[in-house]
Amino acid sequence: MTSKRFKIGTLLLTILLLYMVFMPAVSAMPGTQKNQTEEVGFFSGTEMPEELKKNIVQVDPYTFVFKGKVDDKKKFVAAWNEYEAKAKNKGITLQYVTREDSGSASATRNLLGSYIEGQSYFHGARTDYVISQEFIGDGNTKGYWWGLNPYYADLITLASSVKLTGISVSISVPAGIGFSTSGDTATYSGTWSDAWSAQHYYSNLDGTGLSIFDEDQNDAETFRFSGTDYTLYTHVDLDA
């Protein structure tokens, strides 16, 4: 009888220890431990300086097109980057983060006495749960025409693809972000006329799966002048 009680007690203790080990991970199922702003758009809550407002068209909460004539394009972009940095400080906070990484890429091409430039930025955090993984990502795609004659590109097109490679991976994005999703891939494309820069941002891209091996962002920045298109390609691989 005593031996039987001892075995039962040992079994209960083992179950309790297993519960204590696995309970934090089980309770932190995907989507339940995010602490992030409820505001819409990457720049929500960050006041844009008047000089930027006068020369930039905000197409939606995630897309900005530079259409104003400014004295110095480089100086103007530096002011924009300072504004962007203030917004980025808000960031996204995840508990139980297993791995966090970011990367950037750029490409240029000499053209019409100046040059075009494409830039990509990709950041994400991956969290491991007991039987699944979750990836929360943000990033941007930017295209610049630095010339003065002509001052504007006839058209600027930004195209972006974010792919999460793994097992049974699916991606979801916030409403209004401009991306469409299909399985493990999210894609975006936008075109604007008579501009010297276009920039598209995204945040809270949410991928879940049994396992996530790799995260890639592939972008194309296309500029049209007098009926001819010139395309740059930029790529960021967070698990490279």
- DSSP at 48: P
According to the model, what pLDDT value does residue 7 have? 47
pLDDT digits (tens, 9 = 90+) for 158-193: 999 999 999 999 999 998 899 999 999 999 999 999
Please give the Cα distance from 201 to 139 (Å, whole number): 6
Do residues 123 and 139 lie in contact, with contact meaning Cβ atoms separated by under 8 Å? yes
According to the model, what pLDDT value does residue 29 have? 34
- DSSP at 169: -
What count of Cα atoms within 13 Å lies in the side-chain half-sphere of residue 154? Answer: 7
Please give the Cα distance from 137 to 132 (Å, whole number): 17
Do residues 162 and 137 lie in contact, with contact meaning Cβ atoms separated by under 8 Å? yes
Work out whether strand 114-128 and strand 170-172 pair parallel, antiparallel, or are unpaired: unpaired
According to the model, what pLDDT value does residue 23 have? 34
Q: Label residue 16 left, alpha or beta by phi (over 0 means left) and psi (-120 to 50 means alpha).
A: alpha
Q: How many residues does the chain have?
A: 240
Q: Is 180 exposed, middle or buried (0-12, 13-18, 19+ CB in 10 A)?
A: exposed
Tell me how far apart the terminal alpha carbons of the chain are, to the nearest angstrom: 60
pTM for this structure? 0.80
According to the model, what pLDDT value does residue 219 have? 99
Please give the Cα distance from 140 to 188 (Å, whole number): 11
| Token digits of residue 114 | 């100046």
Work out whether strand 180-182 and strand 185-195 pair parallel, antiparallel, or are unpaired: antiparallel
C-alpha of 239 from chain center:
15
According to the model, what pLDDT value does residue 42 have? 67
Whose CA is closest to 184, among 162, 199, 155?
162
pLDDT-flagged residues of the chain (< 50): 2, 4-9, 11-40, 240
